[in-house]
Amino acid sequence: MDRKKILRNKKEEKLFDELNNLHRILFSEFKQQFSRALPFTDEIFDRWERANLLGFGEGSSIYDSSYVFGDVKIGKNTWLGQFTIIDGSGGLSIGDNCTISSGVHIYTHDNIKQTLSGGKFPIEREKVSIGNCTYIGPQSIISKGITIGNHCVVASNSFVNKNVEDYTIVAGNPAKKIGRVAITENDIQFIYDIHDSNN
């Protein structure tokens, strides 16, 4: 589709040309310097500046393609990936040095009972807390009312609907403990509970 055909006047055409030229310049620079192609808004808007405007801790960043709702508190040096949904309508805190990977959804509310009751019951809201140095894998979903501890790993595509203790690895739908994180001064090991069918 030729977008110029839907523009109504010369002023709109000029603005379109300027934006298109800006996009081409930024696209070329990002491609050359970082070997990446981003959506136009992520080319324009600085993710560290956005995090700062949202009151997140120093060194944290969040892409323009991410949605943020409600009361969200995020510590230092935490990275929030593209296309995340960060719902703090029931209260959300995320610690320092975390990774919230692309496509992660964190919910502090749900309207299931409201929907099933035809509006008789209210939306339910419960706080979510994620500790320090925790990795949430791509496309994972965190349910309302959940606490995830420090130094945890949530594997990709997991649905977390139970609390996760410190140094725990969880995976699956629903997420279950599959191992633990062992951190020493010189190494980090992932110890999996492959012989324990109860976890």
pLDDT band at residue 4, thresholds of 50, 70 and 90?
A: low
pLDDT of 38: 83
Instruction: Judge whether residue 18 has pLDDT over 70.
Output: yes
pLDDT of 113: 96
Residue 113: which residues within 8 A CB-CB, separation 6 or more? 121, 124
CB 108 within 8 A of CB 90: yes
In the chain, the percentage of residues whose pLDDT exceeds 70 is: 93
Tens digits of per-residue pLDDT, 37-84?
Answer: 888 888 888 999 999 999 999 999 999 999 999 999 999 999 999 999
Q: Distance between CA atoms of 156 and 173, rounded to whole angstroms? A: 10
pLDDT of 15: 83
Tens digits of per-residue pLDDT, 102-160?
Answer: 999 999 999 999 999 999 999 999 999 999 999 999 999 999 999 999 999 999 999 99
CATH superfamily of 46-192: Hexapeptide repeat proteins (2.160.10.10)
Tens digits of per-residue pLDDT, 153-185?
Answer: 999 999 999 999 999 999 999 999 999 999 999
Instruction: Judge whether residue 17 has pLDDT over 90.
Output: no
Token look-up 């981003």 returns 38
Q: Where are the domains of the chain?
A: 7-44, 46-192
Tens digits of per-residue pLDDT, 80-100?
Answer: 999 999 999 999 999 999 999
Q: Which residues of 148-179 are buried (b: 16+ CB within 10 A; e: fewer)?
A: bbbbbbbbeebbbeeebeebbbbbeeebebbb
Instruction: Judge whether residue 197 has pLDDT over 60.
Output: no
pLDDT of 5: 62
Average pLDDT of the segment spanning 180-199: 83
